[in-house]
Every structure is written in C-alpha cells, then in structure tokens.
C-alpha cells in the first residue's frame, strides 16, 4: 500500500468525489455526516504509520499477501499469447474482496463503530466481511437477495458460521441491487453505531476512491513481480468488471504507463442483442444508482433494467464511476464475454492449469481465449485471477445440464428422419 507509483492527477476524484462527470454523492441528508467522517478518518489513517503497519500485517498473515504471479504455459498455448495470472484466488476466503474488508473493518474500529453491515451478490463479499468482522470483534449483518441466497447457498452458510447475521431480501429481482438498497436503508437508520462496508468501487464518495486504494496493492505487487520475473512492463492487463474493484485494483498502478493496454470485461450474458446481460459500457446511459452518478442499465423512463449473468458477482446494473471516466478518456477499454464463453474458459483453465476460477474471473479468461491469437505469441498479458471457483461448482453443473438438454434434443430431432 505504500507505493504511490502510478497515481496521476487525471485519475483522482476532485474534492467532491467526482471523476469527470461521474461519481459524487446522491444520498439522504442523514448520511452526509457519516460520509464526511469516513472520508476524514480514511485520510488520517493513511497518514498513520500504525494503521498502515496493522493493515499490512493483517494482509500478510490473515489474508495471505503477497499473492503470486505465475505464467500459465498451457493456457498460453491454447490462447495464442503469453498469459500471466495474478493469483488473488489464493487469498483467504477465496477472492480479492478481503483486501477491502480488512481495510474497512480496521477503519470501523478506529471510528469506534461496533457494528458493520454489507451487501453481497455471489456471497464472496459477505464472507470476506464476516471474516474480517470476526477477526476484529465487530458485529456483522449481511444483506443478500433471496435469489442469490439460493444460487450461493454454501456462502450463506459460511457467513453464518463466521458469526454474522444474514438477512435475505425479497424485493425487486432479489439480487445484488436489492440487497444494496436494503443495506443503505439499514445504514440510514443506524449510522451512529454502524459502518457500511461497501463491496466495490461504487456508492457515494468516498467509497469508490477508498475501495480502490485498498485494492491498489494488486497492481503494485503485479508490476514489481512482472518486472522481476519477465522483465519490463506487460503489454496488456485484463480483468472482469462487476462494480469494478478487482480491475481498478490491477489497472491503477499502471495508469502512468500508456503502453500497457487495460481491458475490462463485462458480463455479456446471453449476448448484447438479447438484452439479457450486464454490460453497461456499450449502452453508455448516464444515471444515478445507490448514491453515485455513473453508467447504468436503464430504460427510456430511467427505470433500472433487469440484468443477467451466469456469475452473480457481475450481475449488477451500474459500473464504478472511475471506470466510466477511464472509458470516456480512452485510458481503459471495455469488452464483454457471454455466459457460454465464460463457461468454456472456466473448463479450459481447470483442465490446462489445475485451477478452478470463479465464474466472474472466467469472463476475463474468455476474452483472452477469444482475442489471444490476434494479439500474437509474444504479447504478454496479465489476467487478474480475482477469485476461485469452488463457490460456482454447483451452478456450473446446473447450467451445463440445462444447456445439454436443448442441444441433445436438437441433435435427436436432426437425426430422427435418418433413424
Ligand atoms: C465480487 C467479485 C467480482 C466482481 O466485483 P468487482 O468489484 O468488479 O471486482 C469479480 N470476481 C470475483 C471473484 C468476485 O468475488
């Protein structure tokens, strides 16, 4: 966290938390004081050597940092370019999320708040918050949509075993968007004793900046590891983008290096034309959701549209405001991969490298599998392996079984006349 290399004026929000036209604070009056308090405490903590020492020690001994960077030789062969994996999947609780929850739980303790709350989609942020809260002796409540609770049953049980309370949300599409709304409502009513551990680079200022800073360690480590192992800078960085925390964590330390392409991969779901996806960049529609102005999926009347992705962690209608700003300036590019492409990449990485990636991560891997030949054998790519796929085993089996039925029915129908 100590390296400041890569910070540029263009990527900082202004004093009111705006990234160009995006970001800011769109919240009820009752939260303004808490957000001011958080911003001030975060600034003080960053300048406090004792805080940084405890954060670094906890990241090392509790979470397992630094994570390795490894060259994936067999996957590279399949993709047609040189692929290096930043192993955030090896972190405690299975994803990059713990970098942020440790940081925010330490801040909650500094602010004298005995209770934290969180929203969760795939359950990973809920598990990471519950784990950090247990470590620091904080009470914890996690909001999850009831549809996600069904899809991510195992993570719901892990959160409970870690001593946190789980509240299922039955409103709306019963997914991450609805859990986030409910967590914000809780915060409004209990802001004096509660800190909201927001799980991505979303929400009102200072969350997008603060969460980015807690994940910036990913890119700082990767840059040093790449230089030591392979020499120089990579040609390309690739990461999946839900809210955008693992991707900004990797990209940010390379923003001063214009020669390094940065590609964020959104959830293409059943294809952009189908309307059933979670790709916010191609539509470029500006709106306000959960306290921030950014690119959102909405209809002509400004109603938030339902989203779809095979991965719960990418299934969210807004993208972090800093990504919207990076996209506008051409400082990062955004692409998408479909459910089917992600499933194929999931199986390919498993069989060729012995790693089950999270379905979210599989979208980044899918982009490399699709584009690798065009990039060429000498092109050196770092993929952020944001999480492990243990949580997704049941969902992959379920989707595969569902996909197999229509395919074999079509096959049988085609063969029927012959038989
Ligand atoms: C939550 C999650 C994501 C998506 O969130 P970002 O904020 O975009 O990083 C991606 N990968 C994994 C493994 C996750 O758990």
**H-only helix segments in 111-193:** 124-136, 146-151, 153-161, 176-189
Q: Which residues contact 321 (CB under 8 A, 6 or more apart)?
A: 18, 19, 22, 23, 24, 201, 202, 208, 292, 293, 294
Per-residue pLDDT of the chain (419 residues; tens, 9 = 90+): 333 344 454 558 999 999 999 999 999 999 999 999 999 999 999 999 999 999 999 999 999 999 999 999 999 999 999 999 999 999 999 999 999 999 999 999 999 999 999 999 989 999 999 999 999 999 999 999 998 898 888 999 999 999 999 999 999 989 899 999 999 999 999 999 999 999 999 999 999 999 999 999 999 999 999 999 999 999 999 999 999 999 999 999 999 999 999 999 999 999 999 999 999 999 999 999 999 999 999 999 999 999 999 998 999 999 999 999 999 999 999 999 999 999 999 999 999 999 999 999 999 999 999 999 999 999 999 999 999 999 999 889 998 888 653 333 333 333 333 33
List 252's β-bridge partners, or say none.
Answer: none
Q: Is 123's C-beta closer than 6 angstroms to any atom of ligand 1?
A: no
Note whether 395 and 307 are same-domain residues.
yes
Note whether 83 and 125 are same-domain residues.
no
Q: Is 77 helix (H, G, I), strand (E, B) or coil?
A: helix
Kindly report the CA angle at 387 between 134 and 8, in degrees rounded to 5?
95
Q: Whole-angstrom Cα distance, residue 12 to residue 278?
A: 26
Residue 333 is a catalytic residue: no
Residue with tokens 């960085």: 237
The verdict on residue 3 lying in a domain is: no
Determine the pLDDT at residue 413: 33
Among 41, 119, 182, 341, which one carries the catalytic annotation? 119
Note whether 263 and 348 are same-domain residues.
yes
Q: Is 79's C-beta closer than 6 angstroms to any atom of ligand 1?
A: no
CA 418 / ligand 1 centre spacing (Å): 48
Last residue within a domain, chosen from 198, 220, 249: 198
Q: Which residues contact 129 (CB under 8 A, 6 or more apart)?
A: 97, 101, 105, 116, 118, 120, 140, 142, 164, 197, 199
Q: Is 105 helix (H, G, I), strand (E, B) or coil?
A: helix
Note whether 75 and 135 are same-domain residues.
no
Note whether 340 and 365 are same-domain residues.
yes
Note whether 73 and 142 are same-domain residues.
no
Q: What pTM did the predictor assign?
A: 0.94
306: domain CATH number is 3.40.50.1100
Note whether 87 and 172 are same-domain residues.
no
Q: Is 358's C-beta closer than 6 angstroms to any atom of ligand 1?
A: yes
Q: How many domains does the chain have?
A: 2
Side-chain-facing half-sphere of 242: CA atoms under 13 Å: 29
Note whether 346 and 316 are same-domain residues.
yes
Strand order in the sheet with 286-289: 18-19, 22-23, 292-295, 286-289
Note whether 330 and 348 are same-domain residues.
yes
Last residue within a domain, chosen from 156, 172, 198: 198
CA 360 / ligand 1 centre spacing (Å): 6
Note whether 183 and 278 are same-domain residues.
no
The verdict on residue 203 lying in a domain is: no
Burial of residue 318 (CB within 10 Å: 0-12, 13-18, 19+) is buried
Q: Using alpha carbons, select from 318, 330, 315, 241 the residue that is nearest to residue 285.
A: 318
Q: Is 313's C-beta closer than 6 angstroms to any atom of ligand 1?
A: yes
- Give the range of the structural domain holding residue 385, as residue numbers without chain letter: 69-93+212-412
Last residue within a domain, chosen from 174, 198, 222: 198
The verdict on residue 12 lying in a domain is: no
Q: Is 395 helix (H, G, I), strand (E, B) or coil?
A: helix
Q: Whole-angstrom Cα distance, residue 411 to residue 413?
A: 5
Determine the pLDDT at residue 408: 33
Q: Whole-angstrom Cα distance, residue 191 to residue 184?
A: 10
Q: How many CB atoms lie within 10 A of CB 29?
A: 7
Note whether 267 and 239 are same-domain residues.
yes
The verdict on residue 8 lying in a domain is: no
Residue 391 is a catalytic residue: no
Determine the pLDDT at residue 173: 87
Q: Hey, what are 271's tokens?
A: 């294809």
What one-character-per-residue DSSP string does 60-72 give?
A: IIII-PSPPEEE-
Query: What are phi and psi for residue 318, nearest 5 degrees?
Result: -125, 150
Using most ligand atoms within 8 A of CB, pick from 92, 118, 208, 313 the residue to mutate for ligand 1.
313
Q: Is 386's C-beta closer than 6 angstroms to any atom of ligand 1?
A: yes
Note whether 191 and 219 are same-domain residues.
no
Cis preceding-peptide flag for 21 (omega within 30 of 0) = no
Residue with tokens 């992705």: 309
């Amino acid at each position: 966290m100590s390296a400041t290399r890569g910070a540029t004026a263009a990527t900082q929000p202004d004093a009111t938390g705006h990234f160009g036209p995006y970001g800011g604070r769109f919240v009820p009056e009752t939260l303004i004081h808490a957000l001011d308090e958080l911003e001030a405490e975060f600034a003080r903590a960053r300048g406090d050597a004792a805080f940084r020492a405890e954060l670094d020690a906890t990241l090392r001994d509790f979470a397992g940092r630094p994570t390795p960077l490894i060259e994936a030789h067999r996957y590279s062969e399949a993709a047609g370019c040189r692929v290096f994996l930043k192993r955030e999947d090896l972190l405690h609780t299975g994803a990059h999320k713990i970098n942020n929850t440790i940081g925010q739980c330490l801040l909650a303790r500094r602010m004298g708040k005995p209770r934290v709350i969180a929203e969760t989609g795939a359950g990973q942020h809920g598990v990471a918050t519950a784990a950090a809260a247990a470590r620091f002796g904080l009470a914890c409540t996690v909001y999850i949509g009831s549809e996600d609770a069904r899809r991510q049953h195992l993570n719901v049980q892990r959160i409970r075993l870690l001593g946190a309370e789980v509240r299922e949300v039955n409103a709306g599409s019963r997914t991450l968007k609805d859990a986030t709304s409910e967590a914000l409502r809780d915060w409004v009513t209990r802001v004096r004793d509660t800190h909201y551990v927001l799980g991505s680079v979303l929400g009102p200022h200072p969350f997008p900046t603060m969460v980015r800073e807690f994940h910036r360690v990913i890119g700082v480590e990767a840059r040093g590891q790449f230089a030591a192992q392979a020499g120089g800078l990579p040609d390309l960085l690739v990461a999946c983008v839900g809210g955008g925390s693992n991707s900004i964590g990797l990209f940010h330390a390379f923003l001063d290096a214009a020669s390094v392409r940065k590609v964020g991969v959104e959830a293409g779901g059943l294809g952009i034309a189908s309307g059933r996806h979670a790709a916010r960049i191609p539509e470029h529609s500006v709106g306000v959701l959960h306290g921030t102005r950014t690119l959102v999926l909405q209809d002509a009347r400004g109603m938030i549209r339902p989203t779809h992705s095979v991965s719960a962690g990418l299934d969210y209608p807004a993208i972090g405001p800093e990504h919207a700003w990076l996209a506008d300036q051409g400082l990062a590019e955004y692409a998408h991969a479909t459910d089917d492409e992600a499933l194929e990449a999931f199986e390919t990485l498993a069989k060729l490298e012995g790693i089950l990636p999270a379905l979210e991560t599989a979208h980044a891997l899918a982009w490399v599998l699709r584009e690798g030949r065009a990039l060429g054998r000498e092109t050196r790519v770092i993929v952020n392996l944001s999480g492990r796929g243990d949580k997704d085993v049941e969902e992959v089996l379920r989707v595969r079984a569902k996909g197999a039925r229509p395919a074999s029915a079509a096959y049988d129908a085609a063969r029927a006349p012959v038989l």
